[in-house]
Homo-oligomer: A and B are copies of this chain.
Amino acid sequence: MFKKILIANRGEIAVRILRACRELGIKTVAVYSEADRQALHVRFADEAYFLGSSPARESYLRGDKIIDIARKCAADAIHPGYGFLAERADFAAACEAARLVFIGPKASSIAAMGDKAVARAKVAKAGVLVVPGSEGEGSLRDEELLAYAPKIGFPLIIKAVSGGGGKGMRDVRNIEEMPDLIQSARREAESSFGDGNVYLEKLVEGARHIEFQIMADQFGNVIHLGERECSIQRRHQKLIEESPSPFLADDQSLRQQMGVVAIQASRAVDYANAGTIEFLLDTNRRFYFLEMNTRLQVEHPVTEAVTGMDIVAEQIRVAYGWKLSRKQEDIQWRGAAIECRINVEDPYNSFLPSSGRITLTQPPTGPGVRIDSGVYAGFEISPYYDPLISKMIVWGETRPQAIVRMRRALEEYKIVGVRTNIPFHQTMMDTYPFISGKYDTRFVEEQFSMLDAAENREMYLDIASLMATLVAHSQMEHRAQIYVQPAQKSTWKWVNRQTRPNR
C-alpha cells in the first residue's frame, strides 16, 4: 500500500481524506496557504508544507509547487480532493510524469470527459440522450455565442468549459440580457478555473438533477453505488443532497436503467477510480446525460451512509492497483441519508458570504448524525476560498426519520462568529415540497423564500422580544436609571404555548 500521500486541497475535504489515510495506515502530507497555517488539515497531518500566499492561484492551484513538495517529502501519491486541481488533466499528467500516483482517473479520461463535445459524442453513441448545446463548436467568442443561442433556443444556460460546482454558470431567458451574463460568467470562470471559456446548453424546465456514484478499478470492473438527488440548488450550487432520490423511490426499473447507463458512460472513457455521472430528468421521466465529474464529490457521504462503503478509502485502494472490494451484487442500500451544506452565507441578507473568527462551534452529535468540517472554535474564516465550512449528514431508517433527525441536528448546531445558512436549511426541512420530495432544480430560486416559508412557522415575537430586552438590559444596566411612570394597561396577552409545534 502507499506509504505517504499528499493531499492537494484544504478545508473539510482535506480533513476527510486525511482521515481515510490514517485509517489505512498511510502517512499524510498537507499543504497550506498563508491563511491556513492553523487550519484543521494542517493540524491533523503528519507533515505540512507552506505553499504560498492566500489566493488560490498562488497556493492551491500551483500544481508545480505541489508536485515539487510531494517529491521532496517522498510522497508516492497525490489526492486532489474536489475543486482546485481535481479535474485538470494536465496536472494528472504532470503527476504521472513525476512518478507520483494521481488518486483519480487517468489523465486521458479526465480530458475526454472534460471536453464536453467528446464526452457527449461518446455517451450519445451508447444510446443516451444528451442535453443539446454548443459544446461541439469549441470555444466561441461572444458574438459567436450570441449567434448560436437561437439554434438552442431560450431559456438556456451559459456554462464554463472547465466548470464545476456551479461556478461560471448563468441562466439566460432572452437574447437581450445575454451579453452581460456572458461577461460575468467568463469573469467567474476565469477567477475559479483560470479559464474564461464558456459554452451554451439548453435549460431543461422542471428538471431534477440526479447523479450516480461510480467506482471502478484498473481491471475494468465498474460498479455503481446508487443515485444522489441534488435538485436543491441555488445559482447552480448544490445545497442539499440525498440518497436515495424520492423521485426514483417508487421506480426501481428507472434506477436500474440509469445505473446501467452510468456504468456504460464510464466504460466509454475507460474510467478508473471514483466518478459521478450527472443526469437531468425531465417531467416525463426522460433522463439526459449532463456530464461526468471525474473526481470525488462534495456529497459522497450520503452514499457512504446508505451503502456503508468508505468511498475515499476505496479510491486509494484502487489507485494503488487493488481490485474493487465489492461486486455490484454485494452493494446493499440501507435507510435514507440527507446532507446539508453549511455555508458561511447569511440567508437573511441575500446569502452574502460572511467571514471572521469562529468564536464558538457546537456540532450536533448523537445517533445517525455525521459532520464533516474543516473549522473549529478559534479558527478565522478567510474570504479567499469556498464558503462551504461544514457538511451535516444524517441517516435514518426511512426518509421521514432522516428529515426529523436533520431538523433536530440543525437546531443543535451552534456556530458563533460568522453567519451561516443553517436557518435556510431549517426552513427548507419544514417546507412541503421538500418533505413530499416534490421539487426541481428551480425550486429554491423560483418558489422558495425565507420570508414566505417563515409565514407557515409559528412566531416567537414575545420570546424574541423578551430575550433581546433582557440582553439589552444586562448591557445597559450600568447606565440605567429608575424612571417611575403611571401604570399602563396592555391588551396584549401572554401567548398560549400548548399549540406550539414540536421543535
Contact = CB atoms under 8 A, between A and B. Distances in A.
Nearest to A392: B365
A25 B502 contact: yes
A310 B405 CA distance: 12
Interface stretch (A29-37, A261-269, A367-375): A367-375
A225 to B, nearest CB: 14
A367 B502 contact: no
A404 B401 CA distance: 30
Interface in A253-301: 301
A335 B305 CA distance: 13
B362 A372 contact: no
B503 A46 contact: yes
Contact of A366 (B16, B365, B397, B412): B16
A401 B365 contact: no
A365 B371 contact: yes
B363 A372 contact: no
Nearest to A47: B497
A401 B23 contact: yes
Contact of A363 (B25, B308, B365): B365
Given A308-B397, A363-B363, A22 B370 contact: no
Given A22-B408, A25-B404, A367 B301 contact: yes
A365 to B, nearest CB: 4
**Which among A360, A367, A371 has the greatest number of chain B C-beta atoms within 10 A?**
A367
A306 B23 CA distance: 20
Contact of A412 (B44, B308, B309, B372): B44
Nearest to A300: B367
A502 B20 CA distance: 12
**Which among A26, A372, A408, A411 has the greatest number of chain B C-beta atoms within 10 A?**
A408
A503 B24 CA distance: 10
Contacts of A363: 363, 365
A365 B360 contact: no
Interface residues of A, number: 43
A352 interface: no
**Which among A22, A26, A27, A373 has the greatest number of chain B C-beta atoms within 10 A?**
A22
Contacts of A377: 360, 362, 377
A156 B362 CA distance: 46
A15 interface: yes
Interface in A396-423: 397, 401, 404-405, 407-408, 411-412
B360 A335 contact: no
B370 A369 contact: yes
Given A22-B408, A308-B334, A308-B335, A502 B370 contact: no
Contacts of A366: 15-16, 19, 370-372
A381 B17 CA distance: 34
Interface in A352-392: 360, 362-363, 365-373, 376-378
B367 A367 contact: no
A304 interface: yes
A373 B365 contact: yes
Interface in A44-97: 44, 46
A363 B369 CA distance: 13
A22 B404 CA distance: 8
17 contacts: A16-B366, A19-B367, A19-B408, A22-B408, A23-B405, A25-B502, A44-B412, A308-B335, A308-B397, A310-B401, A362-B377, A365-B370, A365-B371, A365-B373, A366-B371, A366-B372, A367-B370
Shortest Cβ-Cβ A-B pairs, 8 listed: A365-B371, A25-B502, A22-B408, A23-B404, A19-B366, A362-B376, A23-B408, A23-B405
